[in-house]
Amino acid sequence: MRRKIAIALAFAGSLPTPLPLTWLHKFYLGQYLWGIVYLVLAPTLLPKVACCLEGLWYLTQSDEVFSTRFPQAGALLSSSSTSEALAETANSQAKAEAAQQIAAALREIDQLRKDGLITEYEFEQKRRKLLEGV
């Protein structure tokens, strides 16, 4: 989605408009210095040509390559991307903790089996029950 917005803004900057829009996609991508340069050079045709070429360049990239190359895309417009990243980090941490707890429980029941406190059949039942929750 962010790549599509950057493409639209880049092509909008290449259109002949009374107000220069050539800087919009640069600010959207978090490249503020380039945005200022495009704004200063707006009376010339150079930023319009550059916008058209950059729009084509963004079209040829995959979403993964684009997000790797422009990690700050859209950060100026929404703080939801920050909250989404924080939620994703918290979710991955919760999954990692759950996996560690399951691994510890598996080691514990394996030790009980080795000590002869539970049978092989009981071990297998408990192991399957733990792994079904994953």
Per-residue confidence (pLDDT) for residue 17, from 0 to 100: 80
Q: Is pLDDT larger for residue 124 or for residue 96? A: 124
Per-residue confidence (pLDDT) for residue 14, from 0 to 100: 84
Tokens of 104: 């510890």
Cα dihedral 113, 119, 120, 125 sign: negative
- Report CA dihedral (35, 36, 41, 47) to the nearest 10 degrees: 0
Please tell me the least confidently modeled range out of 60-64, 68-72, 80-84. Answer: 80-84
Cα separation, 96 vs 88, whole angstroms: 12
Q: What are phi and psi of 109, to 5 degrees?
A: -70, -30
Rounded mean pLDDT, 101-110: 90
Please tell me the least confidently modeled range out of 44-53, 55-64, 84-93, 123-132. Answer: 84-93
Task: Please write the tens of the pLDDT for every residue from 9-43.
Answer: 888 888 888 877 888 888 888 888 888 888 888 88
Rounded mean pLDDT, 69-92: 67
Confidence band for 134, pLDDT divided at 50, 70 and 90: low
Tokens of 59: 């079209």
Rounded mean pLDDT, 59-79: 76
In the chain, which ranges are continuous DSSP H helix?
2-14, 24-28, 32-40, 46-60, 63-69, 80-114, 120-132
Tell me how crowded residue 32 is: count the other CB atoms within 10 A of its CB: 13
